[in-house]
Structure 1
Amino acid sequence: MRRAGLLLHITSLPSPFGIGDMGPSAYSFVDFLKEGGQSLWQVLPIHPVLAEGDFSPYYPASLFAGNPLLISPQLLQRWGLVSDKTLETYKRKPSGRISYRKVCLTKARLLEEAASNFSWWEDLRKFEEDNSFWLEDYAVFEAERISKKVREEDVLKVKITQYLFFRQWFMLKEYANRQGVLIVGDLPMYPAPNSADVLSRPYLFDNTLVAGVPPDRFNERGQWWGNPVYRWEKHLQENFQWWVERVRHALRLFDILRFDHFRGFVAYWAFPVRRWLEAPGWDLMKLLRDEFPNATFIAEDLGHITPDVETLRDAFGFYSSRVLAFAFYHKDSPHLPHRHTNRCVVYTTTHDLKPLKDWYYEDLTPEERSFLHSYTWCTQENLVSCMLKMAYMSVADLCIVPLQDVLGLGKEARMNVPGTQKGNWRWCLKNLPSEEVASYLRQLSDTYGRVS
């Protein structure tokens, strides 16, 4: 089935509490998607983020837990866990830019009050049973990280917070599914080095090596990510139990699952050795397919892609990723629309790129711009609408466009600059898009057969 949708992280939703959350704006955004004939909503990883990683969702404190910053204070108030007075105290006019320092303080105080008023003990016990694989380890880790020691009351607060996160998440997902919207989630490749995953199962990770990618067009020195790599031989010995539990957990949260840095399952670049090291992707993917035969998986097969990566992707039925912003660097690019296949998802740009408006002027050489003009009907004046039409008309079954491109925004709305350590992940909307934008999207989906 041909589908279309938008990429917008939860944090980028407008909110009176400094950061997008799973409250009213999220439900309104689902309504906007339905009105616009869109049936996909792709989000970035929803795990807890760390200040030392500049709050990157790809530097998570846990690959299982949910990010407390995404919990909606308004829903807490409706549930009687936060008072009207407290809610009004922390309300602010949306600024379009996230101040994580302020947001962390605000959410900590709101969640402290919510935990003190919590009384759904039977539900919490059921939640503990259902998430026993990771919850206790994470609660102890987080309690110690916050208080510098492990106190029983702090561990309990962490568990309550996680219960509240997942209660809100599953309510939102259920609502989206009822409106015909599928949630596309993101499985980050690695945790942070000081994460609950690494500290609770250190034998599965190699902290002597650091993940990254080699030099390329975008970064002449390569990218040093700071994440530990896997001790794949240990995962093999356990028959990938940790991976199976992780993917099982993720498939409860999302309808479609995107595997970040898919090429890392064949070979991964590591510092300080500065070379590719082999990974047992075939063994892992065969097991995952056997465990989850009906799951829909997307491979983020971008970057230095070799034939063995493509073979692994296709052998296990992963959708490939095609990005129009990469299409015009050379004339045999797999991202050019005439080289798309049905089993792929086409993007205009991604969260790691400038939106189309500034990409055209700042990231393309004169020769590449000339190729774009000769290949398409695009001009400088109609560039954004032209590229959107190319994405929607692609033979790719799935089409997902960052909302920044739909709104014609520029680099001020960029989410991330790969290889940089500060100032990313902070863009957010002041208001949800208008009915006119929804009408425009519906027209695209109607024209190119993507209204499900």
Structure 2
Amino acid sequence: MRFQLSAPRVEPLHQLCVLGSDAALGAWDATKAVPLSDADYPTWAAEVTLATPEADTRYKYGIWDPTARQLLELETGDDRVIPADGHARTLRVLADDHFRYAAAPWRGAGVALPVFALRSHQGLGVGEFPDLKLLVDWAVATGLQLVQVLPINDTVATHTWVDSYPYAAISVFALHPQYLNLEAVAELRDPAARQQLARLREELNAKDYVDYEPVMNAKWEFIRQLYQQEKTAFLADPDFQLFLAEQQAWLLPYAAFCGLRDRFGTADFSQWPAEFRTPAQVADLTQETSPSFDEFGLHFFTQFHLDKQLRAAVAYAREHGVVVKGDLPIGIYRHSVDAWTQPELYHMHQQAGAPPDDFSVTGQNWRFPTYNWERMAADGYQWWQQRMGHLARYFDALRIDHILGFFRIWEIPGHSVEGLLGHFSPALPFSRPEIEQRLGWFDYGRLCEPYIRWHILEDVFHGQAQAVFEEFMEDAGYGAIRLREPVRTQRQIEAVINEKISQNPANTDHYRWLRAGLFGLVNEVLFVPDDQLPDHYHPRITLHLSRSFRELDEYARPRLLALYHDFFYQRHEGFWREQGLTKLPPVRWATNMLICGEDLGMVPASVPGVMKDLGILGLHIQRMPSDPATEFGHPDHAPYLSVVSPGSHDMSTLRGWWEEDHEQTQRFFETILGHWHEAAPEFCEPWVAREIVVQHLYSPAMWAIFPLQDLVALSAQLRRQDPLAEQINVPSNPTHFWKYRFHIPLEELAGQAGFNEEVRELVSQSGREQVY
């Protein structure tokens, strides 16, 4: 008889066993239970010859301590039964279902911090992959079982601070060179170089933030020296040869792309000489015998060591019972290896983004191309499966950024800078006859062109209205005004204003004010024409907030609102559900990683059901409840298949949020924390942060994950003085410099015994340290 079942939830020093009524199963004597092997973990198995197969056998599985040789726990529920069998010589396999734990479903707790924000004594002004081991040590000391990071892919496109944006990767496979620890590669043989590196380490580590350009300049300088120093041994290294053979599909074009980027001074491959605008010469360029090989071999060297260091850190985490959770950006960078090698997979003339939300009233324009899903489907979504498989090389859990993009993406035309003139794609736009029927009329000029009148110009530009009109506009007749031909789109306006700023930088603030006003006028439309179907239109997002809408008559406004509500909240539900069920399964089941989806924002009603069906965890942020009828979410209401967190990298920290709006904070203090008729403290005191953390820890959600800044908020001595300096990203600012760095070296955080014990006690009391 072969007993087997799947049970990943077993402590490292424990194992499963089987105990039953048959003498071969111990005859219910707990000291004689039969241990199961984990050779095929998470499947446990053992083969047993029953003493009395002619009789029914009752049995249960249990948790066994092989060191103490004792049964720790027997599964709950009725006995399992093996019916009597007269064929004793036949091998029977019992493929049993899951182990029936006595405790409630397992729950864990984790910490979130970008790798670049890690601070250690061994770093070079930025977090590096070996620093993850220090964060894992701290997680173990505080009872946390997960470490979550932001995307770690290479974003080096311009060699400027703009490359600090971690969601604009030039390769969905390559790792960012900033995370390479130089000493872990090899010791520099040149004493002067070693001395220079030590001086730079002291200088860059003393800064409160990641000074991206000096850090990267230093990294590249020493990486080049190490490459030349180690080149011969590196190219002959069997481990590198194996890495090259396994990863060449992405590694060769990536190395060629990086070398050509630096040779021609731009990542925009459309500006390269004609013979390099496609990847036709990748094989020739990356041959060791090529005279220019070092331009490309440098990137083989860098990626090999990055991969080696990251896998070592992840292995260390697994050995210590800690999961490393990665992050998959929804988009790709326009000037990337992926766009260079497979442009047919993307709509390069479009831009991906997000509709207006709490982060930005005009929407977000990420400027990434959108996906050609039809082309991706043609080969069974191979690109996605390869991407997921590569991420599984490093991670056991994964956050999918903006998972709503698998249902529909916010697609913005190439001529827009802001996101208001975008539309969901795919979508079911209204035809002109349908709008006429439901609205009672259709006038393209009134509905689809910017609504500009003189009183609007006075309202926007005040005393400068006449001057702005004369420079940028013309009379369109019957009281209407239109923008002149050279400045009819936001992209054209942006170019004109940027030129003015370059010629007269002293008036930059004025020109930015002017640009904002002109952008707003371009947005004054009620319908956006579809770019695929002639005479089909999408209602402009948040059209009810526009001047154009306010100046419609009382007959048209309610009809347009009804049409708008139907379009965004009813018309597409079945259609978008079908999209998600088509695209997500090939991605979801490409690996066995635990998948979590960032499902914040304007969420279609079908999304939670599809995610639940696919076993994808949702995200519950207290400040962004999924129910639009509530101001704040409560962690108690989160389902088991979810992650609860007080915030994300796109938000202010708990302490920063607490100070943003005192009236809002007071309502939260009373309705969520239960301090009725008490005045909320002006600042988020440690005891307030503690209450919020505890609330999340006791949630029924599978995971409670906290930004490290919010955990350190529990200590008046450890937390940063200025909470505004703790925010990682400001989504409303498209040119935000991602420079946040945790203020305490991890070696010193590990020594904060009192604080660490406080965190561990909170985790333990909530049951999130409990395995069984």
TM range (shorter): over 0.9
CA distance in 2, matches of 1:345, 1:357: 21
Q: Displacement of 1:55 after TM fit? A: 1.4
Q: Displacement of 1:416 after TM fit? A: 0.2
Partner secondary structure for residue 212 of structure 1: strand
Q: Could you say which residue in structure 1 is the equivalent of 2:351?
A: 210
Q: Could you say which residue in structure 2 is the equivalent of 1:242?
A: 383
2:162–2:737 contact (8 Å) kept in structure 1: no
Code of the residue aligned with 1:108 in structure 2: it is W
Q: Could you say which residue in structure 2 is the equivalent of 1:302?
A: 600
CA distance in 1, matches of 2:161, 2:371: 21
> 1:227-248 CA distances to partner (integer Å, 9 max, x unpaired)?
1111111101121000000001
CA distance in 1, matches of 2:670, 2:189: 58
Q: Could you say which residue in structure 1 is the equivalent of 2:659?
A: 361
Q: Could you say which residue in structure 2 is the equivalent of 1:283?
A: 582
Partner secondary structure for residue 225 of structure 1: strand
Question: TM-score, structure 2 length as denominator?
Answer: 0.56
CA distance in 2, matches of 1:54, 1:65: 15
Q: Displacement of 1:259 after TM fit? A: 0.6
CA distance in 2, matches of 1:441, 1:22: 25
Query: Cα–Cα, structure 1 residues 8 and 217, in superposed 2: closer, same or farther, change >3 Å?
Result: closer
Q: Displacement of 1:337 after TM fit? A: 2.0
RMSD: 2.3
1:68–1:161 contact (8 Å) kept in structure 2: yes
Q: Could you say which residue in structure 2 is the equivalent of 1:74?
A: 183
CA distance in 1, matches of 2:138, 2:588: 34
1:206–1:229 contact (8 Å) kept in structure 2: yes
CA distance in 2, matches of 1:415, 1:274: 27
Q: Could you say which residue in structure 2 is the equivalent of 1:102?
A: 214
1:176–1:182 contact (8 Å) kept in structure 2: yes
Partner secondary structure for residue 206 of structure 1: strand
Q: 2:229 aligns with which of 117, 124, 130?
A: 117
Q: Could you say which residue in structure 1 is the equivalent of 2:541?
A: none
Q: Displacement of 1:429 after TM fit? A: 2.3
Code of the residue aligned with 2:387 in structure 1: it is R
For the pair 1:20 / 2:132, whether they are aligned, the reply is: no
1:185–1:254 contact (8 Å) kept in structure 2: yes
Q: Could you say which residue in structure 1 is the equivalent of 2:115?
A: 10
For the pair 1:427 / 2:726, whether they are aligned, the reply is: no
CA distance in 1, matches of 2:603, 2:726: 28
For the pair 1:411 / 2:517, whether they are aligned, the reply is: no
Q: Displacement of 1:80 after TM fit? A: 7.7
Code of the residue aligned with 2:169 in structure 1: it is P
Q: Displacement of 1:260 after TM fit? A: 0.5
Q: Displacement of 1:327 after TM fit? A: 4.3
For the pair 1:386 / 2:691, whether they are aligned, the reply is: yes
Q: Could you say which residue in structure 2 is the equivalent of 1:38?
A: 144
CA distance in 2, matches of 1:368, 1:334: 11
Query: Cα–Cα, structure 1 residues 389 and 58, in superposed 2: closer, same or farther, change >3 Å?
Result: same
CA distance in 2, matches of 1:194, 1:94: 34
Q: Could you say which residue in structure 2 is the equivalent of 1:47?
A: 153
1:17–1:94 contact (8 Å) kept in structure 2: no
Q: Displacement of 1:326 after TM fit? A: 2.3
Q: Displacement of 1:332 after TM fit? A: 3.7
> 1:64-84 CA distances to partner (integer Å, 9 max, x unpaired)?
100010001231246989974
Q: Could you say which residue in structure 2 is the equivalent of 1:171?
A: 312
Code of the residue aligned with 2:110 in structure 1: it is G
1:54–1:423 contact (8 Å) kept in structure 2: no
Query: Cα–Cα, structure 1 residues 376 and 81, in superposed 2: closer, same or farther, change >3 Å?
Result: farther
> 1:141-173 CA distances to partner (integer Å, 9 max, x unpaired)?
111112228632211111110001000000111
CA distance in 2, matches of 1:400, 1:416: 18
1:377–1:386 contact (8 Å) kept in structure 2: no
1:54–1:421 contact (8 Å) kept in structure 2: no
CA distance in 1, matches of 2:190, 2:253: 26
Length, aligned pairs only: 449
Larger deviation, residues 93-102 vs 349-358? 93-102
Query: Can you give the 5+ residue segments of structure 1 that lack an aligned partner in the other structure?
Result: none
Q: 1:228 aligns with which of 357, 369, 384?
A: 369
CA distance in 2, matches of 1:397, 1:311: 17
1:391–1:399 contact (8 Å) kept in structure 2: yes
Q: Displacement of 1:128 after TM fit? A: 1.1
Q: Displacement of 1:85 after TM fit? A: 3.6
Q: Could you say which residue in structure 1 is the equivalent of 2:326?
A: 185
Code of the residue aligned with 1:231 in structure 2: it is N
CA distance in 2, matches of 1:398, 1:404: 18
Q: 1:133 aligns with which of 231, 235, 249?
A: 249
CA distance in 1, matches of 2:309, 2:258: 20
Q: Displacement of 1:94 after TM fit? A: 3.0
Q: Could you say which residue in structure 2 is the equivalent of 1:62?
A: 171
CA distance in 2, matches of 1:123, 1:136: 17
CA distance in 2, matches of 1:106, 1:36: 35
For the pair 1:87 / 2:197, whether they are aligned, the reply is: yes
Question: TM-score, structure 1 length as denominator?
Answer: 0.93
For the pair 1:147 / 2:263, whether they are aligned, the reply is: yes
> 1:353-412 CA distances to partner (integer Å, 9 max, x unpaired)?
0000010221x4625631442222464343211111111111111011000111225121
Code of the residue aligned with 2:688 in structure 1: it is L
> 1:297-317 CA distances to partner (integer Å, 9 max, x unpaired)?
001111111112222211211
Q: Displacement of 1:257 after TM fit? A: 0.9
CA distance in 2, matches of 1:145, 1:98: 24
Partner secondary structure for residue 306 of structure 2: helix
Q: Could you say which residue in structure 1 is the equivalent of 2:302?
A: 161
Query: Cα–Cα, structure 1 residues 424 and 45, in superposed 2: closer, same or farther, change >3 Å?
Result: same
Query: Cα–Cα, structure 1 residues 196 and 175, in superposed 2: closer, same or farther, change >3 Å?
Result: same
CA distance in 2, matches of 1:331, 1:57: 33
Larger deviation, residues 14-23 vs 46-55? 46-55
Query: Cα–Cα, structure 1 residues 158 and 7, in superposed 2: closer, same or farther, change >3 Å?
Result: same
CA distance in 1, matches of 2:384, 2:195: 44
For the pair 1:324 / 2:593, whether they are aligned, the reply is: no
Larger deviation, residues 420-429 vs 47-56? 47-56
Partner secondary structure for residue 326 of structure 2: strand
Code of the residue aligned with 1:7 in structure 2: it is A
CA distance in 2, matches of 1:205, 1:53: 23
Q: Displacement of 1:331 after TM fit? A: 5.3
Code of the residue aligned with 1:39 in structure 2: it is Q
Structure number with bigger Rg: 2
Q: Could you say which residue in structure 2 is the equivalent of 1:375?
A: 672
Query: Cα–Cα, structure 1 residues 52 and 411, in superposed 2: closer, same or farther, change >3 Å?
Result: closer
Q: Could you say which residue in structure 2 is the equivalent of 1:336?
A: 634
Q: Displacement of 1:450 after TM fit? A: 1.2
CA distance in 1, matches of 2:355, 2:626: 22
1:18–1:103 contact (8 Å) kept in structure 2: yes
CA distance in 1, matches of 2:725, 2:253: 39
Query: Cα–Cα, structure 1 residues 338 and 204, in superposed 2: closer, same or farther, change >3 Å?
Result: same
Larger deviation, residues 424-433 vs 347-356? 424-433
CA distance in 1, matches of 2:371, 2:316: 36
1:6–1:400 contact (8 Å) kept in structure 2: yes
For the pair 1:194 / 2:335, whether they are aligned, the reply is: yes
Percent sequence identity over matched residues? Answer: 26
Q: Displacement of 1:114 after TM fit? A: 1.8
CA distance in 2, matches of 1:223, 1:206: 18
Q: Displacement of 1:329 after TM fit? A: 9.0
Q: Displacement of 1:318 after TM fit? A: 0.1
Partner secondary structure for residue 63 of structure 1: coil
Query: Can you give the 5+ residue segments of structure 2 that lack an aligned partner in the other structure?
Result: 1-105, 265-271, 273-284, 286-291, 414-420, 427-575, 714-719
1:33–1:438 contact (8 Å) kept in structure 2: no
CA distance in 1, matches of 2:385, 2:664: 46
Q: Displacement of 1:99 after TM fit? A: 0.9
2:623–2:632 contact (8 Å) kept in structure 1: no
> 1:112-155 CA distances to partner (integer Å, 9 max, x unpaired)?
12211222332221111111221111111111112228632211
Larger deviation, residues 86-95 vs 121-130? 86-95
